[in-house]
Chain A
C-alpha cells in the first residue's frame, strides 16, 4: 500500500505537468503546429518558372522563334523602356537585346539569371547550327530524407528537448522555491536525491512522449523515413534531456525570482536558437565560429538526431556529439549541486 517517495514525487510532478493546459499546449501542440506551418511553406514544389525578356527591336521575332523549342524558361517580349525595371524587380531573370551580336543583361548574383543566360545562349547557338559532340540524358531524383521537412523534424525535437528541459526543471524549481515549497520539503525526512531523481524522471518521460509523437507525426503526415534504430534515437533524446535538465538546474540553483530565472534561461537558450541548426544547417556559419557552434549542446543534439534519424548513423559513430552533451550535463549538475539553495 505504501509507496516509495520517489514514485510519489515523480507521479506528483507528472500530474502537475499534465494539469497545466498552457504547458501541455507548448509541449505537445505547438511543435506540431510549427512543423505543419513550416512543412507547408517549404513543401517541395516544381521549380519556379524562369522568364526571359526579349527587347522589342529588329530581329526580336527571330530570337523568340529560336528560343521557342528550348525548355526550362518562358519567353516574353518587352518594351526597351520596360526591360530594366522588370529586371530590377525580379519579374524577369534575363534581358536579351537582339542585334548584330546578342547582349545579355542580368544580375550575376541571381542563380536563376545565371541559369537563364546559359540556357538562352545554348538555345541560340543550337539555332545557329551548333552541333553537340557529347550526348547526355537526365534522370531526375527526389528522395525522402532530403526534403526540408526531414531536416526540420529532428530540429524541432532538439529544440523541444532544450526548452522542455530548461523550463521543466529550471522554472519549476524556482517556482517551488519562491513558494517556499522547497524549504517545506527539506523540513521533512525526504531524501534530496529522491526529489532530484523524480524531477529528472518526469522530464525524461515527457521527452519520450514528445519523441514518439513527433516521429509518428513525421512518418504519417510527411512520409518521413526513419533510418536509425528507435532505441538509439531514444537514447540520444535521453542524453539530450539529461544535458538540458542539468543546465536548467544550474540556472535555477540560487534565484527565487521567476523574472530572474526567465531572463537567465532566455540568455542561455538564445544563442542555441540561433546557432544550433534548428531551422537551417549550422554549417552555414563561418568557419571562425564553428568551434563555438559545435560546442553547444543543442548543436550536438540536433546533429546527432539528424544523423541517426535521416542517415541511420550508429551511436559509436557519434561519440563526439554524445560527449559534448554529457559534458554539459555532468558539469552543470556538479556546479548546480554546489550552488543549490533549498530555501
Chain B
C-alpha cells in the first residue's frame, strides 16, 4: 500500500521564554487514498504537524516524507500536488468568489477552471459575491475550493468546521466524502469527535505533541472494552475527587470512590468527571442494576443517570482523564 505521509520522531520547539515544545517525537503514517484524522485538544500539536507537512514551518528535528518527496529538495513539485486549507485564513474581503478561485487556480500548472471548482463546493450561485458578504460556512467552502484548484493528490484541512453551524458542517463533510470517493488522500485535524468518527478511515489521537492512540474509530472505541457509557451523579456530591484526575479515593474527596465501582459486573473503567461519575460498560443491563443496588446500600440517591454509545471523546477521556475541549 502506498504511503502518502510518513513522519518519524517529529519535533518542533518554538523559541519563547520558556521554549514551547509543540511536538515531542510524533510518529505518523498516512496511506494513500484514506481520510486520516488528527484528533486532539487545542494546543496538542495538530496544526504544527500539519504546517510542517505543508512546508510552511520547519521542523526542529525528525524526518518527514510527503508523497515520497521531501521539503527542502522537492518544494516546487510538492506544492503543485498539495491542497491546503489553513485554520482561520481570511481571504481578501473585496474580491469575489470567482476572482478568488481563479487567482488561486492561476498559481498551479494544471489549475482547474474556477467554474468546476466552485461547482464542487456548491458556490456557483455565489460566484459574483464579495468574500466579505459570505456566511461562515460559505467562506469555509471557499477555503476548501482554494485547496482544490490544483487538483491535489493530498489535501490538508486544518479544522475545516470549527465554529460552523450544524448545516454548514454537514456541507463540508459532504465535500470531504466526495473527495474521498474520488480517491484523494485527505489529512484533516479536528477537535470534534463526531467529525472524526463520521469522516475518517483512521484517526490518530494527539496530545502534548505525541500520538497517544491510533486506529480506525471503531477500533479505538473497542479499545475501551465496553461500547456503552453510563454517566451518573448522586445527590449532594459536588465534583468528585477533582474532575480531570482519576479519583484516588482519598477520604474527604467525595462520598463515592470510583475505583470501587470497577467491581461491578461488566464495568471496564470508572472515573470522576465534571460533577459525576463516568463508567465504561460492556453490558448496561448487567451493570446498571448492580450500580443501583450499590448506591442503595450506601444510602445515596441518584440525581442523574444517562447511558449512551461510547465515542472517540470517551477514548480521549479514558487515555488522558481530560476532555477534548476544556473550554
> Quick check: is A189 within 8 A (CB to CB) of the other chain?
yes
Assess the A12–B90 pair: CB atoms within 8 A: no
> Quick check: is B209 within 8 A (CB to CB) of the other chain?
no
Q: Which of B77-85, B167-175, B185-193, B252-260 contacts A (4 or more CB under 8 A)?
A: B77-85
* A:164-212 near B, CB below 8 Å: 179-181, 183-184, 186-190
Residues of B within 8 A of A (CB-CB), count: 30
Assess the A180–B90 pair: CB atoms within 8 A: yes
* B:67-98 near A, CB below 8 Å: 76, 79-80, 82, 84, 86, 88-95
Q: A180 contacts which of B54, B57, B86, B106 (Cβ < 8 Å)?
A: B86
Assess the A188–B109 pair: CB atoms within 8 A: no
Assess the B55–A187 pair: CB atoms within 8 A: yes
Assess the A19–B107 pair: CB atoms within 8 A: no
Assess the B86–A15 pair: CB atoms within 8 A: no
Q: Which of chain A's residues have a CB closer than 8 A to the CB of B108?
A: 188-189
Assess the B111–A2 pair: CB atoms within 8 A: yes
Assess the B94–A189 pair: CB atoms within 8 A: no
Q: A16 contacts which of B84, B88, B90, B95 (Cβ < 8 Å)?
A: B95
Q: B107 contacts which of A16, A180, A189 (Cβ < 8 Å)?
A: A189
Chain A min CB distance to B279 (Å): 43
> Quick check: is B56 within 8 A (CB to CB) of the other chain?
yes
Chain A min CB distance to B105 (Å): 8
Assess the A15–B99 pair: CB atoms within 8 A: yes
Assess the B79–A179 pair: CB atoms within 8 A: no
Closest to A1 in B: B113
A4 to B103, CA, bound (A): 9
Chain B min CB distance to A254 (Å): 14
> Quick check: is B232 within 8 A (CB to CB) of the other chain?
no
A225 to B103, CA, bound (A): 44
Q: Which of chain A's residues have a CB closer than 8 A to the CB of B89?
A: 179-181, 183-184
Q: A187 contacts which of B56, B90, B103, B106 (Cβ < 8 Å)?
A: B56
Q: A12 contacts which of B56, B99, B111, B150 (Cβ < 8 Å)?
A: B99
Q: Which of chain B's residues have a CB closer than 8 A to the CB of A186?
A: 56
> Quick check: is A9 within 8 A (CB to CB) of the other chain?
yes
A1-27 vs B, Cβ < 8 Å mask (1 yes, 0 no): 011110011001001100110000000
Closest to A343 in B: B56
Q: B82 contacts which of A20, A183, A187 (Cβ < 8 Å)?
A: A187
B223-235 vs A, Cβ < 8 Å mask (1 yes, 0 no): 0000000000000
Q: Which of chain A's residues have a CB closer than 8 A to the CB of B56?
A: 183, 186-187, 343
A4 to B55, CA, bound (A): 24
* A:297-313 near B, CB below 8 Å: none
Asked whether A12 and B54 contact (CB < 8 A) given A5-B106, A179-B89, A181-B90, the answer is no
Assess the B92–A16 pair: CB atoms within 8 A: yes
A179 to B132, CA, bound (A): 13
Closest to B149 in A: A188
Q: B92 contacts which of A3, A12, A187 (Cβ < 8 Å)?
A: A12
Q: Which of chain A's residues have a CB closer than 8 A to the CB of B104?
A: 188
> Quick check: is B211 within 8 A (CB to CB) of the other chain?
no
Assess the A15–B103 pair: CB atoms within 8 A: no
Chain A min CB distance to B145 (Å): 13
> Quick check: is B102 within 8 A (CB to CB) of the other chain?
yes
Assess the B103–A12 pair: CB atoms within 8 A: yes
Assess the B86–A19 pair: CB atoms within 8 A: no
Closest to B82 in A: A187
Assess the B95–A15 pair: CB atoms within 8 A: yes
Q: Which of chain A's residues have a CB closer than 8 A to the CB of B93?
A: 16
Assess the A180–B88 pair: CB atoms within 8 A: yes
Q: Which of chain A's residues have a CB closer than 8 A to the CB of B92?
A: 12, 16, 181
Q: B84 contacts which of A3, A5, A12, A184 (Cβ < 8 Å)?
A: A184
Q: Which of chain B's residues have a CB closer than 8 A to the CB of A189?
A: 76, 79-80, 107-109, 150
Chain A min CB distance to B88 (Å): 7
Q: Which of chain B's residues have a CB closer than 8 A to the CB of A8?
A: 102-103, 106
Q: B94 contacts which of A3, A15, A190 (Cβ < 8 Å)?
A: A15
A3 to B102, CA, bound (A): 9
Assess the A179–B90 pair: CB atoms within 8 A: yes
Centre residue among B76, B102, B103, B106 by max chain A CB count within 10 A = B106
Centre residue among A3, A5, A187, A343 by max chain B CB count within 10 A = A187
Q: Which of chain B's residues have a CB closer than 8 A to the CB of A9?
A: 103
Assess the A187–B54 pair: CB atoms within 8 A: yes
20 other A-B residue contacts (CB within 8 Å) besides A2-B106, A3-B102, A188-B79: A3-B106, A8-B102, A12-B92, A15-B94, A15-B95, A19-B130, A20-B94, A180-B88, A181-B89, A181-B90, A183-B89, A184-B86, A184-B89, A184-B146, A186-B56, A187-B55, A187-B84, A189-B107, A189-B150, A343-B57
The chain A residues found within 8 Å of chain B, CB to CB, are 2-5, 8-9, 12, 15-16, 19-20, 179-181, 183-184, 186-190, 343
Q: 13 A-B residue contacts at CB 8 Å?
A: A2-B111, A3-B106, A4-B106, A5-B107, A8-B103, A9-B103, A12-B92, A16-B94, A179-B90, A183-B86, A187-B56, A188-B107, A188-B108
